[in-house]
Amino acid sequence: MIPFRVRPLIAALLAACTPVTLQASGLIDNVNGITVDETGDLVHFTGLLIDGEGRVEKRLARGEKRPERPDFRYDGKGRTLIPGMIDAHGHVMDLGFTRLNLDLSDTKSLEEAKAKIAAFAAENPSRPWILGFGWNQEVWGLGRFPTAADLDGLAEGRPIWLERVDGHAGWANTAALAAAKITATTKAPAGGRIEMAGGKPGGVLVDKAMALMQAVVPTPQPKDYDAALIKAQDALLARGVTAIADMGTTIEAWQAYRRAGDWGALRIRIMGYARGMDQATLIAGPGPTPWLYDDRLRLGGVKLMIDGALGSRGAALKAPYADAPRESGLPMLTSTQLRNQMSRAAMDGFQLAVHAIGDKANAELLDAIDELSFTYKGDRRWRIEHAQIVDPADLPRFAQHGAIASMQPQHATSDWSMAIARMGQERLGGAYAWKAMLDNKVPLAFGSDVPVEPADPFMGLRAALTRVDGNGQPLGGWMPEQRLSFAQALRAYGWGAAYAGFAEQRFGNLAPGQRADFVILDRDVELAAPRDLPATRIVEVWIGGQRTIMKDDEP
């Protein structure tokens, strides 16, 4: 990663925060409070008592007696207050780095992307590599992957490396391919694919083949991680996200979190899942870390990947892709490797969070959980990340050993037309099946997969309630039988997401004893039309009973 001109970590992070005063007990009053209790029922309240440690002491109903002389009293002026939103699956540092590098996620065509790449290269003449993220050939209507030739000539001969929006493919120019020594004779590693064109590398590397390029891309420095953390925290808090499960934490990211925590500048709560056992050992040693910095940081689990993504045809399917009959996905682990790696993490007490998108991958992971559950007893909360394309016959299996479906509502509304093209509607009976998961007594934890999708839980709520995208398509919603109620969706972004990280006693739904993390909004999200939820404005953010963002702050 190219060094960035940023303020020193301490000054930059602390300047981003509202000045902190000594913690005092107090009363949050005159609010339209909405939360969901542990059983899934909506709870309404008009006040919160907060103790001297920043925890909820009591929810207060309308007319219930208030303390006469609290240390402080905040008048919410009738505004809506909900628990701080929890993103159950995101990538904190990737989000931060997208804000520091080239972001192509808003481009609608190849030509628009090329113009943006050329402009970025011209604005950054000192960068030896042009790095970026966010392209999506499906949105562009390209009908193919982009090629190295599409990029050549855009950066005056400098290497260009751009990751796809799902993070499961990368796009390189000829200079980057040469730097990585990728030629017509280069073989892709197992679980990866080199797209070819005319008998030579076409410029796109899929899944594990991306490692061929990542080996030569400049390595980010500690100050780059610090700068990325500043950007990521700002982006999350701006949309009311007060906690996130960081999927794929590395030692470099962990050290940045610790540096921020040591200086009192870790503004969000991070539930870390290490990128494999090697990283878990570097970060935590023999087992999960304790909660640090007043419940703001913990490394409690290990993230594994069993397949790729649907958009790049890396998701492992039981039958070939409808639009590519010779392909059925890219399994990243054999059955034996999956079980060995899961067992190695489980024996040290780490929670498992395994990426599985295709129906074959989900079935394979469920088989592994069946086997390992005989050895590893107790409350394991096996996390299945994404669970996007599931054979309907496999849906009841999720509940057999207490597995959690960690899903992202925005994916359904972004992917619906592409999923139909990749699979055919007749094979999608268990696709993005939120309601079916709940009907089968499977806990739901909702997130965004940021930066694949925006870290915006209000966009996610719209998707969960409607199954309709931002353009109102498809009419009536895609597979509308999978829509959720407001209470079900809000719970998945609160208590459910906290439960998925063994944090439901610490934060999640403003129950007594939990950290007082909440957001104050400009509208009643329970009564608002679902289509209007993404326009919800965050007025204030409070974490641990202290105000972190006010309406006049500019994140």
Q: How far apart are CA 229 and CA 246, in angstroms?
A: 12
* Residue 422 near residue 321 (C-beta atoms within 8 A): yes
How many residues appear in the chain? 555
Domain locations along the chain: 94-214
DSSP 534: G
* Residue 371 near residue 364 (C-beta atoms within 8 A): no
Farthest-apart Cα atoms in the chain, separation: 79
pLDDT on residue 555: 42
* Residue 164 near residue 136 (C-beta atoms within 8 A): yes
Determine the residue type at 78: G
- Residue whose token pair is 């009738």: 78
* Residue 89 near residue 406 (C-beta atoms within 8 A): yes
Tokens of 53: 């440690």
Instruction: Tell me how far CA of residue 222 lies from CA of 4, 98, 170, 229, in angstroms.
Output: 11, 16, 24, 11
Separation of CA 544 from chain center: 22
Helix (H, G, I), strand (E, B) or coil at 545: coil
Instruction: Tell me how far CA of residue 211 lies from CA of 167, 207, 361, 525, in angstroms.
Output: 12, 8, 21, 43
Helix (H, G, I), strand (E, B) or coil at 377: coil
Q: Where are the beta strands (DSSP E) in 213-371?
A: 241-249, 269-275, 297-305, 351-356
Adjacency order of strands within the sheet including 241-249: 85-90, 241-249, 269-275, 297-305, 351-356, 383-386, 404-407, 444-446
pLDDT on residue 220: 93
Helix (H, G, I), strand (E, B) or coil at 29: strand
* Residue 496 near residue 507 (C-beta atoms within 8 A): no
- Cβ burial, residue 30 (10 Å; 0-12/13-18/19+): middle
Q: Which segments of the chain have a pLDDT < 50?
A: 1-22, 553-555
pLDDT on residue 549: 87
Q: How far apart are CA 447 and CA 143, in angstroms?
A: 29
Q: Indicate the class that CATH gives domain 94-214.
A: alpha beta
- Cβ burial, residue 472 (10 Å; 0-12/13-18/19+): exposed
Q: How far apart are CA 388 and CA 309, in angstroms?
A: 10
Instruction: Tell me how far CA of residue 446 lies from CA of 37, 267, 386, 551, in angstroms.
Output: 16, 21, 9, 26
pLDDT on residue 23: 59
DSSP 66: P
pLDDT on residue 38: 85
Q: How far apart are CA 136 and CA 109, in angstroms?
A: 9
* Residue 307 near residue 330 (C-beta atoms within 8 A): yes
SS (H, E, C) 255-278: HHHHHHHHCCCCCCEEEEEEEHHH
Strand 102-103 versus strand 56-60 pairing type = unpaired
* Residue 365 near residue 385 (C-beta atoms within 8 A): no
Q: How far apart are CA 531 and CA 146, in angstroms?
A: 33
- Contacts (Cβ under 8 Å, ≥6 apart) of 85: 239, 240, 241, 242, 457, 493, 494, 519
- Cβ burial, residue 481 (10 Å; 0-12/13-18/19+): exposed
Determine the residue type at 423: M
